[in-house]
Structure 1
């Protein structure tokens, strides 16, 4: 039986089944946890969480009389029906309503919130990978609050969390890659107009798609140079290893399993592990292939620096023509993040260089750009924000540019800075 109590009444030995509040405020990455350490108890008592649901069938019960005397009773109204609910009560069967999509906000307004999600997600994924290495089974129910928070961030502004997740360090790659692919899968699902349920499953698939890497030898996984043929053969076993781990876990649906096993398949049949072709590859696995490659090539790795986002899109378009990706899925992906994704360095016809700050609502060719350098005078200029899609805009993008070729560093600070 579940009971709802304030955190002040928690004791070591109780089983927390669910927290009441934002997942971001939960000091534990799992939504359900058995309190075995006084430090854990202190953590949740000092957090913003005010109430939790405990399962007395899985842990210590509470003293009902003490709780009832200590807590005020309140009257709630649901669909016009009044009911009295103390903080200790069996969970009422309440009607479920569809939550409204969060309002769209600017990238700058979403960056701070997305940063908190990324920080929390990194810890969650690191713990998950460590748990798998220790032989613990995966329970995807613990992943869903993270998927939901990422989804809401994408709904508010897809550029924020997608771009922040790209800025992972090489040491964080294994964990943050999963977070980035989750966000990219959600953004692509929305572009494809998939249902809310399928979008959630696609996000979960992105979060779990590389779980098999936890079963790979760490000396191969973290090798700072190019893999030998033998090492690459080992790494090609990670989709199958991940699929087996998900089969042994709890609550894993067919979409996540499919993406985990087949995100390295290519429509031309030259992928792995099964060499599937064309329509033999599911839509979700095709989506996973595109999202996985984009984040991989734009991220810093132990053996190479990430490529510029716009150049990566150009290269992926070429690979799509060679049968690496499903072209329709790739085109939808490009529409979801832009021809010039946030963080891209571009040259304008005026001769100024700028960083793409946000996608324009009217055209993929006319994003919002922050210019900061004049190629005519070969020097920095005061940063200026230009909406190239504005009716009065007189400048246009002339070309993609390589930050490395210009010797620029710290460009991400420009698009992340507040206006």
Structure 2
């Protein structure tokens, strides 16, 4: 029983089915939840949300506080009989825009998506049931941002805190899989499914003790065996989760399979591994090795791609790896480069026509050793070329600031 209710009538014990308005503008990591405190009601009111949909089959109604006849009239007019109640609005897929235009929206989407994953993982850790409703709005919002300008959101993925790695990794894998799928020309419904699979693929890690999951040193054989159970544990959780389709289930179970059959949990090889799981294996490894962890330092993106190409003889579908490299570029967004002119800059946008000529924000000069007024150089139109990739630590370049400020 779903009906609309003004937020001034909310009280503890009601079950929120949907918050009316943009997902990005409300303070919650999920769209459906039981109101457990007055603080949650205050957050809804403070966010400026005027109406919500409540599910009176899962929580309290407010009929007790109104006259019976008024309640009857409202129920008759508001109950949706056999028709789904609209979900909260998400940004629609719009025209292509510049990185600068999309940047603020991408930053907000990235933060909200991490919040959603953190909340969902916490529910799993506590042994509570989860629903795809917790992360589907994030998938929708990411889909829209990638369509408007993928470079803006992909640039956010390099901004990581190793203490929050599991949550950030899940958002990154989901986002990269959707960007990858767009490069392959997948239809929108499949993009959403692989995005959801990427967001959920490591849910089984919530069954792994923190001491093992975040161990700074080498794992023992016994500890590694515990880690290797997470695809099966995650699959078991998602089988019991309402609304999860076959694609997310497949990605969760088989993202650690390897092309030569030496992966886990089932030792599948070649094309017996689904295409989506082969894609997820590539994305999962790329994001993992380009992130700082408690037990290893991040590789530069270009070095990671080079190493993965070497490993692809055994581990990956090489044709898919080539497509992934085209998707993110030889010099992914966030890469620090030195141009032949001596300019040090940060890659801020890919050139869809050539992976070798991205747009670079110039910030420093390696010969004169002076800061430059930030300006964007389009290498497709400039006579300058990339001479090398550089470690961010070598030069006074704050990559994060140049990716988060237009």
State if a TM-score over 0.5 links the two structures. yes
Mapped pair 1:298 → 2:297: no
| Residues 360-385 of structure 1: per-residue CA shift (max 9 Å, x gap) | 23311111012233333344444332
Mapped pair 1:274 → 2:287: no
Structure 2 residues without counterparts, runs of 5 or longer: none
Equivalent residue, structure 1, for 2:116: 124
Identify which range, 153-162 or 143-152, moves more after superposition: 153-162
Residues 67 and 408 of structure 1: is their aligned pair in 2 closer, same or farther, counting only changes over 3 Å? farther
2:28 and 2:376 map into 1 onto residues whose CA distance is 40
2:189 and 2:43 map into 1 onto residues whose CA distance is 33
Maintained 8 Å contact 1:298/1:308: yes
1:275 and 1:94 map into 2 onto residues whose CA distance is 41
Q: 2:401 aligns with which of 413, 416, 419?
A: 413
Maintained 8 Å contact 1:68/1:86: no
Maintained 8 Å contact 1:158/1:337: no
SS in 2 for 1:131: helix
SS in 1 for 2:357: coil
2:235 and 2:199 map into 1 onto residues whose CA distance is 13
- TM value normalised by structure 1: 0.88
Identify which range, 54-63 or 269-278, moves more after superposition: 54-63
1:39 and 1:378 map into 2 onto residues whose CA distance is 53
Q: Deviation at 1:402?
A: 2.9
Structure 1 residues without counterparts, runs of 5 or longer: 71-84
Maintained 8 Å contact 2:257/2:268: yes
SS in 2 for 1:372: strand
Alignment of 1:7-406 (within 5 A): 7-63=7-63, 89-91=78-80, 93=83, 101-320=93-312, 322-390=313-381, 393-404=382-393, 406=394
SS in 2 for 1:250: coil
| Residues 10-32 of structure 1: per-residue CA shift (max 9 Å, x gap) | 22222211121111223332222
| Residues 102-123 of structure 1: per-residue CA shift (max 9 Å, x gap) | 2222222222222222222222
Residues 168 and 87 of structure 1: is their aligned pair in 2 closer, same or farther, counting only changes over 3 Å? farther
SS in 2 for 1:339: coil
Q: Deviation at 1:147?
A: 1.0
Equivalent residue, structure 2, for 1:76: none
Q: Deviation at 1:234?
A: 1.9
Residues 261 and 372 of structure 1: is their aligned pair in 2 closer, same or farther, counting only changes over 3 Å? same
Residues 52 and 88 of structure 1: is their aligned pair in 2 closer, same or farther, counting only changes over 3 Å? farther
Q: Deviation at 1:303?
A: 2.2
Q: Deviation at 1:140?
A: 1.5
Identify which range, 51-60 or 213-222, moves more after superposition: 51-60
2:277 and 2:12 map into 1 onto residues whose CA distance is 43
SS in 2 for 1:289: helix
Residues 11 and 281 of structure 1: is their aligned pair in 2 closer, same or farther, counting only changes over 3 Å? same
SS in 2 for 1:166: coil
2:375 and 2:114 map into 1 onto residues whose CA distance is 33
- TM value normalised by structure 2: 0.90
1:159 and 1:61 map into 2 onto residues whose CA distance is 45
Residues 394 and 383 of structure 1: is their aligned pair in 2 closer, same or farther, counting only changes over 3 Å? same
SS in 1 for 2:355: coil
Maintained 8 Å contact 2:358/2:380: yes
2:32 and 2:255 map into 1 onto residues whose CA distance is 30
Equivalent residue, structure 2, for 1:78: none
| Residues 251-287 of structure 1: per-residue CA shift (max 9 Å, x gap) | 2111111111111111121211222111000011011
Q: Deviation at 1:229?
A: 3.3
Off by >6 Å, runs of 4+ in structure 1: 64-70
1:34 and 1:354 map into 2 onto residues whose CA distance is 48
Q: Deviation at 1:295?
A: 1.1
